[in-house]
């Protein structure tokens, strides 16, 4: 027995680990567990050995046996388990573990940082922003994390060389591991229909599988995109997918506001209330500001319309300043750009963020520690930290206002849902879009997608009819890095120029620059003859070579 005990001493186990004798170390730790099955140190050691040996699942399961409330060892074991869950892509389980730690250590910056990193990675930007704001209140926030607060709608990676996640090409989307995050990337790139199609598939799967986890953030972004694209099939699918949890999402309230304000619905008062709630949940959404400007103009409140217009411009300015800052790095323009960002944030009443940016600027410009400017900033930060708290917790004014609007939203939805169900083809919906008990996708999902993906499908006939025109925005044609005037195209006039009863087409051309007297290619006129077209600009004397941007 004494010989066996010596093999199980921690000194012997440490020595085996140091020498890389994994099997010896594993045997020693298991021996300790035979003697004391609940020993948190032995469980943690065995988990580490299994993880390093490539047995990640077993290691994660082992750490789950350590009670999080075990003095000294519970929280570290839970933190290590969360780290491994993140590394293996088990994000929902990692979030649950991190939130369990947070409930016991609400002021721990590392926990808020990891929560923000995971939530940003999976596209739940609004939730991530709440944890970054907590880092701001704690005064422990990085420049990259501050930048993530400038636009909550856009995808953002706050990992900053965090070894937990490994390396990868985030620009190519390899690290955006959830459908929600990938949809945000598509929306940022302007591929709105592709994003809508992706989200529709995800919502279909949620509704077909009764046991599937319903993602309120995905449903909300799907609804917003559907309303923005005026895709009534997708809007109907969204309306059939709603759950109480969506009320937490700014995208949900934005979708309601856009829907209520549609000309065919005309509920402008509700539209304004819903949109204001969206803006409170996401104060960085300049497009909602612009929409509210339009609503206020429509009801004749020009003072508020101007306020929303200015706010939209300030938000856009903050994004432009951030982009310039990222491009400038640490050159001579960085300090001035950062000051512009600070001024803009103060205009938006986001003083805490502005002060933190000011502290970063002071440090980057080598302000001497203890110097008056830095002391003033530190005092201002302390004052703001004492007066700020979490924005969306029960009992907060924002939370209570949100709760009071839910009844209004429910009444609006109860009234509007039947309208969409009767407006669209009931047979199509029953077979392809809405199944039993309001579930989406009970029929053939391929058929459903093919009928509702886009409202209009295009086919090119010009080449077969004799129309060979191609607009050239420059010479040579540019596909990127445009001047402002190179983005618009030249338009087309459809009219009967020779009064023969057929529609003829006139295309302005550019193929140069506006300050040139003549471009490389002329405008072209196509006369319709026998279901085809002949090019007759030279004959008609309208082969102008100026830089064309439109025609009437």
Distance CA 51, CA 361 (A): 42
How high is the pLDDT of residue 292?
94
Distance CA 446, CA 464 (A): 31
How high is the pLDDT of residue 403?
80
- The rounded average pLDDT for each run of 10 residues, N- to C-terminus, in the chain (552 residues) is 50 73 78 82 86 89 92 93 90 94 92 93 94 90 91 86 43 64 91 93 86 87 94 92 92 96 90 95 93 89 92 90 76 79 90 89 66 67 67 58 87 90 50 37 38 59 79 82 80 91 92 78 91 88 89 90
| Pair 521, 472: CB distance under 8 Å | yes
Q: Please tell me the total number of residues recorded for the chain in this structure.
A: 552
| Pair 196, 206: CB distance under 8 Å | no
Total Cβ atoms within 10 A of residue 442: 19
Number of H helices, E strands in the chain: 26, 4
Classify residue 528 by its DSSP letter.
Answer: E
Quickly tell me which residue has 């350590």 as its tokens: 66
Q: Where are the beta strands (DSSP E) in 65-186?
A: none
Bridge partners, residue 408, by sequence: none
Crossing angle (nearest 10°) for helices 250-260 and 268-281: 160
How high is the pLDDT of residue 367?
52
529: phi then psi, degrees, rounded to nearest 5: -140, 120
How high is the pLDDT of residue 445?
37
Q: Which pair of tokens denotes residue 24?
A: 């010896």
CA–CA–CA angle 75, 78, 83 (5° rounding): 125
DSSP string across 244-286: GGGGG-HHHHHHHHHHHTSTTT--HHHHHHHHHHHHHH-TT-H
How high is the pLDDT of residue 520?
82
Beta-carbon contacts of 358 under 8 Å, excluding residues fewer than 6 positions away, are 342, 377
User: 218: closest CA among 243, 191, 189, 193?
Assistant: 243
Secondary structure class of 524 (helix, strand, coil): strand
524-529 β-sheet, strand order: 493-495, 504-507, 524-529, 532-535
Reduced 3-state DSSP string for 400-435: HHHHHHHHHHHHHHHHHHHHHHHHCCHHHHHHHHEC
DSSP string across 349-372: T-HHHHHHHHHHHHHHTTPPTT-H
Which H or E run contains 342?
helix 333-347
| H-state helical runs in 139-178 | 143-147
């Amino acid at each position: 027995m004494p010989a066996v005990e010596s093999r199980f001493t921690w000194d012997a186990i440490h020595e085996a680990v140091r020498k890389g004798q994994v099997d010896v170390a594993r045997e020693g730790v298991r021996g300790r567990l035979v003697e004391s099955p609940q020993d948190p140190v032995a469980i943690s050691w065995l988990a580490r050995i299994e993880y390093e040996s490539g047995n990640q699942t077993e290691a994660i399961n082992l750490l789950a046996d350590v009670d999080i409330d075990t003095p000294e060892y519970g929280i570290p074991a839970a933190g290590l388990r969360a780290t491994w869950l993140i590394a293996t892509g088990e994000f929902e389980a990692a979030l649950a573990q991190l939130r369990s730690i947070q409930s016991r250590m609400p002021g721990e910056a590392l926990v808020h940082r990891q929560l923000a990193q995971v939530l940003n990675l999976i596209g739940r930007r609004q939730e991530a922003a709440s944890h970054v704001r907590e880092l701001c209140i704690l005064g422990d926030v990085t420049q990259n994390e501050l930048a993530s607060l400038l636009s909550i709608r856009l995808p953002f990676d706050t990992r900053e060389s965090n070894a937990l996640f490994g390396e990868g090409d985030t620009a190519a989307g390899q690290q955006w591991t959830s459908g929600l995050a990938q949809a945000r990337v598509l929306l940022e790139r302007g591929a709105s229909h592709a994003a809508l199609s992706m989200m529709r598939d995800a919502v279909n799967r949620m509704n077909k599988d009764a046991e599937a986890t319903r993602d309120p953030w995905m449903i909300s972004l799907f609804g917003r995109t559907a309303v923005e694209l005026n895709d009534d099939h997708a809007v109907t699918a969204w309306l059939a997918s709603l759950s109480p949890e969506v009320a937490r999402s700014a995208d949900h309230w934005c979708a309601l506001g856009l829907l209520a304000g549609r000309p065919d619905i005309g509920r402008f008062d509700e539209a304004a209330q819903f949109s204001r709630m969206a803006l409170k949940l996401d104060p960085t959404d300049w497009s909602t500001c612009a929409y509210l400007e339009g609503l206020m103009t429509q009801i004749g409140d020009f003072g508020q319309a101007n306020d929303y217009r200015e706010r939209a411009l300030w938000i856009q300015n903050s994004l432009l300043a951030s982009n310039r800052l990222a491009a400038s790095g640490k050159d001579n323009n960085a300090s001035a750009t950062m000051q512009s960002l600070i001024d803009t944030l103060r205009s938006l009443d986001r003083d805490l963020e502005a002060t933190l940016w000011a502290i970063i600027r002071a440090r980057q410009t080598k302000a001497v520690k203890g110097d008056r400017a830095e002391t003033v900033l530190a005092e201002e930060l302390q004052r703001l930290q004492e007066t700020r708290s979490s924005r969306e917790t029960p009992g907060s004014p924002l939370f209570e206002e949100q709760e009071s609007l839910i009844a209004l939203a429910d009444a609006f939805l109860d009234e509007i849902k039947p309208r969409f169900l009767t407006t669209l083809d009931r047979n199509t919906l029953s077979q392809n879009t809405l199944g039993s008990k309001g579930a989406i996708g009970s029929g053939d999902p391929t058929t459903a997608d093919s009928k509702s993906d886009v409202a209009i499908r295009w086919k090119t006939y010009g080449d077969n009819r004799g129309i060979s025109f191609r607009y050239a925005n420059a010479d040579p044609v540019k596909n990127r890095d445009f001047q402002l005037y190179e983005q618009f195209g030249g338009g087309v006039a459809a009219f009967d120029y020779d009064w023969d009863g057929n529609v003829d087409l006139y295309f302005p051309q550019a193929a140069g620059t506006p300050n040139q007297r003549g471009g490389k290619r002329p405008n072209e006129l196509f006369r319709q003859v026998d279901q085809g077209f002949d090019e007759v600009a030279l004959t008609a004397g309208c082969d102008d070579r100026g830089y064309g941007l439109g025609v009437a």
